[in-house]
Amino acid sequence: MSLILILEQILNGLQFGVMLFLMAAGLTLVFGVMGLINLAHGALYMVGAFAAAIVAAWTGSFVLALVASLAAAAAAGALVELLVIRKLYDRDHLDQVLATFALILIFSEGTRWVFGSFPLFLDVPSYLSGPISLPGGIEYPLYRLTIIAIGLVVAAGLFWLIARTRIGIQIRAGESDREMIAALGVDISKLYTLVFALGAALAGLAGALVGAIQSVQVGMGEPVLILAFVVIVIGGIGSIKGAMVGALLVGLTDTLGGVFLPQLFGLFMEPASATSVGASLASMLIYILMAAILLVRPSGLYGGQH
Amino acid sequence: MNREKLLNTAVILLLLAIPLWAHMAEEPFLITLATKVAILALAGVGLNIALGIGGLVSLGHAAFFGIGGYAMGILAAHAQNYEPLAEWPMLIEGTNQMPVIWLVAVVASALAALVIGALSLRTSGVYFIMITLAFGQMLYYFAISWTAYGGEDGLSIWVRNEFPGLNTLVPLEFFLICYVILCAALWFAARLARAPFGLALSAARQCEARVETVGITPYQLRLTAFVISGAITGLAGALFADLNRFVSPTMLSWHTSGEIMIFVIIGGVGRLFGPVIGAALFILLEHLLGGISDYWQIYLGGLLLIIVLYARGGVIGAISGREVAHD
């Protein structure tokens, strides 16, 4: 087990974590501001990936594909918010779970209807493919490094948006007291649509970026959605900082566990059973992490105020 | 008798009458559909104890459904291969006897519910939903990576398990087994709702602070309800696996959790017969719409959306003229 392998896996974990953050940020914003649990967030991730794959096939431009993923997911998010989600803010969580579950059924089957069950392909553009040499002699895929960079830039932008801009102030005010900011003359329903579309756009971007390394297919958002839930539970609902820390924890734990647990068990077991026990345990590792954090802090690392 | 009770009686009699008629008319497929309704309704009755009475929105009940299924799959697979399940510290053999399988399914899913419940009931609201969902998915991924029992492909059983004195290969006889279990569970759930335990649980849903003030700990009530709920759903899982003679990780996936919840909601939350009507309607829709279009779940999604947004009491609420089951 060389140092280079460990560093590579840490980068992989970072890349995964950054993608999870893009998903979790939208979910946690929507929950923090509107008090809504949105199971259909994974569907918006899928919408972004499909939009990117179609535009990339049309125009051949990866940048345009990313723009399309942002626009399509934001539009789908705004539309869903106006038609359905808006009616759910005053309802209990059970109604929200069911209605957004219904949205998943509609989105997934609708996409299957239009595009069929076969995956679409979104290729990594030639200027981003291939490995790049990093200091220390690591050869690492340039595209994955780009994903990390994009993710970090978007995260920084989001922190700036929340902390420094007028809209950010309104969003934070909406988290603490929605009647008060409505009374101060902020159009709260417009703000809600905006926050929902913003979260959707982040999910769509994540879908497009990941779609280029995996395949673009129906149901691709659901495993990520559930990991994003784990991230939010770990980080604390409503906290962007918590989402960032949780996403990196989950990304690193999952990636490193998947690679190193089988090797760890190999130290004192036969290779075949070490691989299978290690793989089984690695698949459960992040949930065990979540349970451990819950035992210590039931409302997550940065939860507290909710 | 009010309208709701009339409806309940009609539904439970109809669920018995259709397979009896189908047996006479030699339509075994209809009996299989009715069996599926009875089993899924049983799973819903289990969830309804946590969800309807306790107000615990669990999105992880597929875990218990799947554990029940795997209890059947593992025991029966060992029995059909004549391999003992364990040789140390004592010899444990597989079995193809339903009562033993049921017992194992109930105990295993109750234990799982105890662990999952003890952890997730430390939280409430959205956290609870997400955590039950996450633990359910954990077992799903575990089942996929557990190659000893089929991994992603699942486990097939060649012959349906046996019940003393009955021939379970006759569709009607297997249906009757499931029907009797469903009736017993409905009777149990009705007793539970009226018992001091059920009343206290319901009170904890409505106002936690008052329950604590009179000296009852809501956590213990909820945990007990969650374990009972999980055990019933686990039993349904064992029967469902026996119906299909197949168990796979799909039974553990969160779509299954969502579907069990849909039965409860379509019928009407907190209604004793909600899951029965919901499951019957679900199977009916699956069959009718599935015949029209491969993409029938779009219509299911649309229907569910309409029920949630505009008809909050579900079918029973609409028919009985009262939107809310309790209060």
Question: Does residue A288 have a pLDDT over 80?
Answer: yes
Query: Considering the domain boundaries, does residue A186 fall inside one?
Result: yes
Instruction: Write down the pLDDT at residue A295.
Output: 81
Structural domain range at position A98? 3-219
Query: Considering the domain boundaries, does residue B86 fall inside one?
Result: yes
CATH of the domain at B7: 1.10.3470
* A203-258 pLDDT, tens digit each: 999 999 999 988 899 989 888 998 999 999 899 888 889 999 999 999 999 999 98
What average pLDDT does the structure give for chain A?
89
* A253-284 pLDDT, tens digit each: 999 998 888 888 888 888 777 787 888 888 88
Residues B86, B89, B91: CA angle, nearest 5 degrees: 45
Instruction: Write down the pLDDT at residue B300.
Output: 87
**Higher pLDDT pick, B2 / A229:** A229
CA B93 to chain A, closest CA, distance in angstroms equals 23
Query: Considering the domain boundaries, does residue A33 fall inside one?
Result: yes
Question: Does residue A1 have a pLDDT over 70?
Answer: no
Instruction: Write down the pLDDT at residue A122.
Output: 86
Query: Considering the domain boundaries, does residue A199 fall inside one?
Result: yes
Query: Considering the domain boundaries, does residue B327 fall inside one?
Result: no
Asked if the Cβ–Cβ distance from A294 to B119 is below 8 Å, we say yes
Structural domain range at position B219? 3-320
Chain A's closest residue to B146, CA to CA, is A280
Question: Does residue B266 have a pLDDT over 80?
Answer: yes
**Count of alpha carbons within 13 Å of A290, Cβ hemisphere only?**
36
Query: Considering the domain boundaries, does residue B326 fall inside one?
Result: no
Query: Considering the domain boundaries, does residue A263 fall inside one?
Result: no
Query: Considering the domain boundaries, does residue A274 fall inside one?
Result: no
Which residue type sits at B23? H
CA B165 to chain A, closest CA, distance in angstroms equals 41
Query: Considering the domain boundaries, does residue A49 fall inside one?
Result: yes
Asked if the Cβ–Cβ distance from B301 to A105 is below 8 Å, we say yes
CA distance linking residue A33 with residue A171, whole number of Å: 7
What average pLDDT does the structure give for chain B?
90
Q: What is the count of structural domains for chain A?
A: 1
Is residue A205 exposed (0-12), middle (13-18) or buried (19+ Cβ within 10 Å)?
buried
Contact between residue A299 and residue B127 where contact means Cβ atoms under 8 Å apart: yes
Instruction: Write down the pLDDT at residue B1.
Output: 56
B324 Cβ neighbours under 8 A, 6+ residues apart: B313, B317
- Extended beta strands in chain B, E state: 84-86, 92-93, 155-156, 246-247
Chain B residues whose CB is inside 8 A of the A290 CB are: 131, 134
Q: Six-digit token pair at A266?
A: 């190999």
ipTM of the complex: 0.87
Q: How far is residue A115 from each of residues A71, A119, A148, B138, measured CA to CA in Å? A: 19, 9, 30, 30
Q: Nearest to residue B281, comparing CAs of B298, B261, B266?
A: B266
A31, A229, A297, A306: which to substitute to probe chain B, counting the most B Cβ within 10 Å?
Answer: A229
Instruction: Write down the pLDDT at residue A306.
Output: 45
* B139-155 pLDDT, tens digit each: 998 998 888 888 889 99
CA distance linking residue A235 with residue A252, whole number of Å: 15
Is the backbone of residue A239 left (phi > 0), alpha (psi -120 to 50) or beta?
A: beta
Interface check for A146 against chain B (CB to CB < 8 A): the answer is no
Chain A residues whose CB is inside 8 A of the B119 CB are: 291, 294-295
B194 Cβ neighbours under 8 A, 6+ residues apart: none
- For chain A, positions 165-224, list CB contacts with chain B under 8 A: 222
Q: What is the count of structural domains for chain B?
A: 1
Percent of chain B at pLDDT exceeding 70? 98
**Count of alpha carbons within 13 Å of B159, Cβ hemisphere only?**
14
Percent of chain A at pLDDT exceeding 90? 50
Asked if the Cβ–Cβ distance from B301 to A287 is below 8 Å, we say no
pLDDT band at B324 (very low <50, low <70, confident <90, very high): low
DSSP 3-state of B97? strand
CA distance linking residue A172 with residue A169, whole number of Å: 5
Query: Considering the domain boundaries, does residue B253 fall inside one?
Result: yes
